[in-house]
Structure 1
């Protein structure tokens, strides 16, 4: 699309433009577009021809432009938009902006009217095919600055900061930010003259432009202030130490391309698109075209804007007042008049009478699907109490039942207990389909009030997780991404920090909008995402598994685990005494007291006082004392050894032995973790508050912590886990005959690998050879290089390369799997688990070597980790189903990686011993047999 600025005559309005003659105002229209779209909601009108026309972005953008004009009444003004199609940057780097989704259809349909109305408002509109808006802005700003004119750029895009100088200033009307020379320097740590170098180092995730791996804003600013420019930094790259120095050297070939991509052009040939340049007279504002604006506002039903136009007599209208609840001048027209609201706004109802309640109860009883959401007193699911309930059965319609609001002038609310009793039959009816966002949380909240919800069949968080695991899954993000809605945030209502009020203090009217948006948006997001899952059989089955797992996890969390507080106290005391001994010993070795947790003090003692060898340096050039360095030094020196042990014990004490007992729920006397499903992209669960999956088990002290996880009277702890699950999955996926044979024959797979790699009979394999084979087996799964293998085994790189070569010679199917998987990942951008879980790899085609290599390692490992995650979830579901069907008293109390932990009545030990491993081994049929092993004991550690 090409558009041309011309001086075509327009109808004169009575008032003339009286603005400074020395200033050019450039508006980043593309930035404005998306801001207006996300702020504008889903307003729409029906045009005379019967078509639906979205108007939310159009309405907001008009007000943004008028507000900007009032604040900066310049004589020269241009609004610049991006055109469709590629630019020179796409030719230079095909993946430029490769991650950006297409423009939402509801926004695309408003582009034409937006361009039209901006012209009618007196602005020049510029949109040139093949030239980005930033480059047009850069070129016009450069021309004006050369003529000594002042330039104001209105945009929220930080990339434009490189244009700032004594003539050019950027303003961001959305947050009041001003970027002049001092502002840019304060915000980014470098002056505008270095912003191109800064952006080249940092990269641009929005435009999919890689920078230097692991180099963020602070490192980039530090380097540029130290070396003066990117060119000087490149000259000194060989001397920059640490991982970031390594990454810089790896990126040297890329940096010239990256610099071209991030550099805004200031010399574009605008051709005939702007007649008369470089004379700025071509950019002078036109008077508003009142008559055409009146027709435009009538067509799109902008009543408030229409009223604000001068009347037919030529008089000027009074300024339109902001609507109640508006956000100031910028959005004074953003909220429609009462008539507009009645016709277009979402229909949200506050229920404070039994008649309204009964009407909605009848609606949800008959509904095919109801979105349900609770407002509560706490984020802790087992302690939260209900403050209100919202319901939605149709997009744009929802109701909120306030049940605990205490704000001044709150209306009389229906009694909580009676509302719940009247809702109970519907809530507990499995035949009444329900959906929510993170349904596990709402299950807990309602369970706290004695209600066991049944009929939850959909969860928008899990739908997003299955479809796009690598993206955020909060409802706010989902609504913006999929239905292009932005609602009220919790902070909008309650504030932040110390001044934040509880939700119970929020006025009921505001709470209604917030709560109804939650259920309404969840329903609309579901209507967008569910059809995508329905048409993909494998993804739909994974989603159904996640829904089933969610219900089991709810029960595991609710069961909790008993903790022996006295034993933890004893362990804390013992750890504390041992730490004191280590501290005294360290002080004696250093011949002075020092803080064992201070890298600076440790560095001074190690390298200045004791003269220990410098293993590596930090990015600032100082000798490093990180854990890797300490471990290397500990091989030869006792002081680093003591510090490592001290830190290890300190972590155990501070994270577990001091805190676990205090995390006991006072109502149950047990510790209840929270399992997050939608975190790890591989499908693995994440445990928090407390984190039960990171308890260290490689040290005796770490294993002792598990001794504090005990069974109640008359019960024992049982631990069931899969044996060598990821190696078995590798055998299945790779179809390697030798690996399959090892598992089918029941052989020790590490001994079998050692036999193959070292060329000896299985019964002649030494313990050292078996250890090497174990490292090789698991290391290759995680994409370990020969360098990594050499480091793990303490051997040289040549020996490590030989081991890997022999491994692949004996297991050629594994090599073929790795090569095949890398190629498939590059072709399709994702890999899959055995059961169809999709694992996206955004960096698999990255020109940045380290990022691409990391994505390739993930491509090899993710199908195994993901398949293992699928299997343990299948096991949870099947085992829980068997427990329920046989009405067993055994309770599942933890899930840790590939392990399920139970609290088992002594009378059921034999059943659990035989049935749980059988069920776990039978949840899927792979090319090699699955094997689950189980142990019993009075505590978790002894059950292993």
Structure 2
């Protein structure tokens, strides 16, 4: 486009661009540290700024639909009736976009009763008459009907692609028509599902194009239906009236009641301070700089600090100059996109002498980011390929490690003082991995630890925490993809040893550089969000504890698992035969389609059986549970599925997870998976070992102690109930716990108004269900399903429960109000759970957020306490030089392996530290068990 042309008006179709921005980031939404989804705001604003920067329009306006019915609804009540509800993030976005546009002095337009299309159409028509070249900024094909020699569609590119400008010739070629106005007939014939324009029956895009070539317009087509044949003729004639209506609906008006006063649309300089204030709230850290550039006069520097640039090392990395100053480099201040365009100095160190110089410099730095490159993600077998360091934006060093172990050890010994320096901040992303890798090499990471992945998790627990994602999100920088160097994940993927040292340096040094920049960003945020104490006193000390647990691993009895697999296979065969006999025929038990046909076609167990989107009957567990009383076959099918899952997921799978390095299973405990603060166990998941059925519980028997040792299981008793009593201050519940009463029997006695000694097993069970259900916001319907009570009986029980424990109801209401006022709730240690949907107009979404507002502080506080206990126990075992090792954490339970000689001492220490991990009014009670395997100990 010739940017020198005068009088260029850009009219932006607001909602089209807002939705486009939202869906462009749907898989990787932008979330603020408080959990707010800003994808729509960012996408729209970024496109707007890029447009201004690229095109330098003389005049500009943004046009919105104002909501409510339009003139088209008078003609066709179902117009746009099929539109799904606007996503919550877009509803939140629009007021912010209005604020940004006002601060940028960009006109916001809209006319009641008319759509944005009509306003744009009218202004385009009037501006063209005033001698303007008009660009309609939209991806919507409907606007093609407005295109003339001076009115064009300006379609921004997707994912960095080129823009597309559609003039008369482009529209004619794209839609195979003779005149842009024929787009109206095109839409009238084929209809438009987006706007619910019905069109002619049986006419799609291909047929509509042919009709236009043959007849030119819908009116001419309908006047010559005699030329058509068969069913198509019948369909077109039968829908002729709606075809004419469709043309009216598809026609964009050019006479909406809005005037064109050109001075109102002059592009002016924004209120920079106001824009900056809004962007800071939204955490758009680099967008302000881009906006400044878009409006800065030619030749004016965006920032004075941008006068100096750094030396770029690309594509060839440079050797370290032993005589150069380490601090002569100034970090680049301009916003760049990737390693090819970003100012940086990445150097590799290839001699012990050079490394010694670097180490002396590194030891002087208060904070240091590091990263390790390895041959494997399994820390037990991984060999070091290289180590990188960074202590300043844009500056990093890479030390490639020789394959020869002795030569590698020489370099590690030179670096050892850096890693083991106590009074230095050590920064890494997913620090636990690097800690374990270096530990296996005989090097300990000491100092004040800072994991940028965990830091971001505390700031935004519901977000994504991968380094590449955070770099793009917060630094506007796209790191080098490992897959571009060594191939995609899979058996054929190589390692960094397969690429040149220059490429290794670019990739590894960049990781350290990005990590250091994220540290500089997140460290002050942790402080301002009052999360620094939780980070430094809980999450960071826990990293080393978890690393030692993972390295220790746990032993499995492979013989027992092998025999159990044989027994399960036999039981499954018997069950399968019983099911076939009950159904009257054999079928594939693992085919949901065949099972559904047997149950609902042949056996007619449910005349209103639900079907999936693919048309087969739904046979999920919850559906089958509801049918359990209708036929004996259901009980057998459910049991078959349970045993099959036990066999495939645990009995057969666990032996394959045994590490050849030490014949033990090594899980990975993630601190950044569960938004509540709970730890997660992956590869394999040892927190999911089944306990609900007797057969499932037996699997714990496969986890065994080593020779001369036993397992200790220490489990918090009813910790979440105790904490809800503690946090809410419910006196009746506090009194029961402080008296050591059976809380479920005590609750039952109060609910049924009987002495505690007269409480039956059924009544206690019902009270237990209510006690735990309340924490998770359970209603009468769910309680009725779980207890067998009627809906009215369940409701009466819940009402009686709140009468018994009145402070619980008050506490729940207070938590929901707090979430509405602040946007988050907190645990006892200040861990935040952001609840962006707490004010949603959708009652289902809002209800979920309200339940989280009640539950998150309880579940999160329990997680906080067991983490404190783990840290204290680990410290005590170390200080007392005991050989007892912590192996597993399963929510409220810790599992240890202890020499027989330490069992008594270790059991006492563990119980004491867990029960005193955090001061509470209600006693925390821990039950300790000992056994040769986990089942016996639990």
TM over 0.5: yes
- Corresponding position of 1:249: none
Count of residues in correspondence between the two structures = 755
Looking at structure 2, the residues matched to 646 and 397 of structure 1 have their Cα atoms a distance apart, in angstroms, of: 60
SS at the partner of 2:193? helix
CA 1:416–1:732 in 2, change beyond 3 Å: closer, same or farther? Answer: same
Looking at structure 1, the residues matched to 388 and 254 of structure 2 have their Cα atoms a distance apart, in angstroms, of: 53
Residue 740 in 1 paired to residue 734 in 2?
yes
SS at the partner of 1:372? strand
Looking at structure 2, the residues matched to 381 and 508 of structure 1 have their Cα atoms a distance apart, in angstroms, of: 23
Residue 349 in 1 paired to residue 365 in 2?
no
CA 1:413–1:868 in 2, change beyond 3 Å: closer, same or farther? Answer: closer
SS at the partner of 2:740? coil
CA 1:35–1:816 in 2, change beyond 3 Å: closer, same or farther? Answer: closer
Q: Is the 8 A contact 1:89 1:96 kept in 2?
A: no
Looking at structure 2, the residues matched to 197 and 413 of structure 1 have their Cα atoms a distance apart, in angstroms, of: 69
- Corresponding position of 1:172: 157
Looking at structure 2, the residues matched to 62 and 744 of structure 1 have their Cα atoms a distance apart, in angstroms, of: 62
**Aligned to 1:598, which of 586, 591, 596?**
591
Deviations 1:329-388 (A, max 9, x none): xxxxx999x9x9999812222222444423321221111010011122222333332211
Residue 557 in 1 paired to residue 550 in 2?
yes
- Corresponding position of 1:460: 452
**Aligned to 1:700, which of 666, 690, 694?**
694
- Corresponding position of 1:206: none
How far apart are 1:887 and its partner, in Å?
0.5
- Corresponding position of 1:918: 912
Output aligned runs, 1:613-762, within 5 Å: 613-614=606-607, 616-618=609-611, 620=613, 623-762=617-756
More divergent stretch after superposition (590-599 vs 920-929)? 590-599
SS at the partner of 2:605? coil
- Corresponding position of 1:129: 108
Looking at structure 1, the residues matched to 125 and 580 of structure 2 have their Cα atoms a distance apart, in angstroms, of: 64
Q: Is the 8 A contact 2:18 2:90 kept in 1?
A: no
More divergent stretch after superposition (587-596 vs 684-693)? 587-596
CA 1:892–1:128 in 2, change beyond 3 Å: closer, same or farther? Answer: same
**Aligned to 1:397, which of 388, 395, 400?**
395
How far apart are 1:296 and its partner, in Å?
6.2
- Corresponding position of 1:281: none
Looking at structure 1, the residues matched to 7 and 728 of structure 2 have their Cα atoms a distance apart, in angstroms, of: 72
Output aligned runs, 1:477-516, within 5 Å: 477-496=469-488, 500-516=493-509
Residue 884 in 1 paired to residue 878 in 2?
yes
SS at the partner of 2:669? strand
- Corresponding position of 2:429: 437
How far apart are 1:542 and its partner, in Å?
4.5
How far apart are 1:862 and its partner, in Å?
0.7
Deviations 1:631-652 (A, max 9, x none): 1222231222222111111111
How far apart are 1:554 and its partner, in Å?
0.6
Residue 544 in 1 paired to residue 544 in 2?
no
CA 1:658–1:676 in 2, change beyond 3 Å: closer, same or farther? Answer: same
Looking at structure 2, the residues matched to 912 and 480 of structure 1 have their Cα atoms a distance apart, in angstroms, of: 47
How far apart are 1:830 and its partner, in Å?
0.7
Q: Is the 8 A contact 1:390 1:399 kept in 2?
A: yes
Residue 523 in 1 paired to residue 512 in 2?
no
Q: Is the 8 A contact 1:466 1:838 kept in 2?
A: yes
More divergent stretch after superposition (590-599 vs 562-571)? 590-599
Looking at structure 2, the residues matched to 460 and 403 of structure 1 have their Cα atoms a distance apart, in angstroms, of: 25
CA 1:628–1:273 in 2, change beyond 3 Å: closer, same or farther? Answer: farther
Deviations 1:682-731 (A, max 9, x none): 00011011101111111122111110100000000110010000000010
CA 1:472–1:630 in 2, change beyond 3 Å: closer, same or farther? Answer: same
More divergent stretch after superposition (859-868 vs 521-530)? 521-530
Deviations 1:278-334 (A, max 9, x none): xxxxxxxxxxxxxx99x96654599xxxxxxxxxxxxxxxxxxxx9879xxxxxxx9
Looking at structure 1, the residues matched to 726 and 506 of structure 2 have their Cα atoms a distance apart, in angstroms, of: 52
The alignment's TM-score, normalised by the length of structure 1, stands at 0.71
- Corresponding position of 2:193: 194
Q: Is the 8 A contact 2:388 2:508 kept in 1?
A: yes
Q: Is the 8 A contact 1:430 1:455 kept in 2?
A: yes
CA 1:630–1:401 in 2, change beyond 3 Å: closer, same or farther? Answer: same
CA 1:520–1:785 in 2, change beyond 3 Å: closer, same or farther? Answer: same
Looking at structure 2, the residues matched to 895 and 602 of structure 1 have their Cα atoms a distance apart, in angstroms, of: 39
How far apart are 1:272 and its partner, in Å?
3.4
Looking at structure 2, the residues matched to 774 and 267 of structure 1 have their Cα atoms a distance apart, in angstroms, of: 68
**Aligned to 2:761, which of 767, 788, 796?**
767
SS at the partner of 2:792? helix
Looking at structure 1, the residues matched to 628 and 927 of structure 2 have their Cα atoms a distance apart, in angstroms, of: 37
Q: Is the 8 A contact 1:370 1:435 kept in 2?
A: yes
- Corresponding position of 1:792: 786
Where does the alignment leave 5 or more consecutive residues of structure 1 unmatched? Answer: 11-22, 38-56, 70-75, 113-125, 184-190, 199-263, 278-291, 303-322, 327-333, 406-411
Please, what is the CA RMSD of the aligned residues? 4.9
CA 1:869–1:80 in 2, change beyond 3 Å: closer, same or farther? Answer: farther
The alignment's TM-score, normalised by the length of structure 2, stands at 0.71
Deviations 1:425-455 (A, max 9, x none): 3212323331111110111111232222222
Where does the alignment leave 5 or more consecutive residues of structure 2 unmatched? Answer: 26-42, 69-85, 148-152, 165-170, 177-189, 198-251, 266-292, 304-312, 317-331
CA 1:579–1:94 in 2, change beyond 3 Å: closer, same or farther? Answer: closer
CA 1:806–1:298 in 2, change beyond 3 Å: closer, same or farther? Answer: closer
Q: Is the 8 A contact 1:563 1:709 kept in 2?
A: yes
Output aligned runs, 1:407-422, within 5 Å: 415-422=407-414
Looking at structure 2, the residues matched to 723 and 731 of structure 1 have their Cα atoms a distance apart, in angstroms, of: 14
How far apart are 1:416 and its partner, in Å?
2.8
Looking at structure 2, the residues matched to 182 and 529 of structure 1 have their Cα atoms a distance apart, in angstroms, of: 51
- Corresponding position of 2:821: 827
How far apart are 1:273 and its partner, in Å?
6.0
SS at the partner of 2:929? strand
Q: Is the 8 A contact 2:368 2:390 kept in 1?
A: yes
CA 1:324–1:137 in 2, change beyond 3 Å: closer, same or farther? Answer: farther
Deviations 1:508-531 (A, max 9, x none): 333322222211121121112111
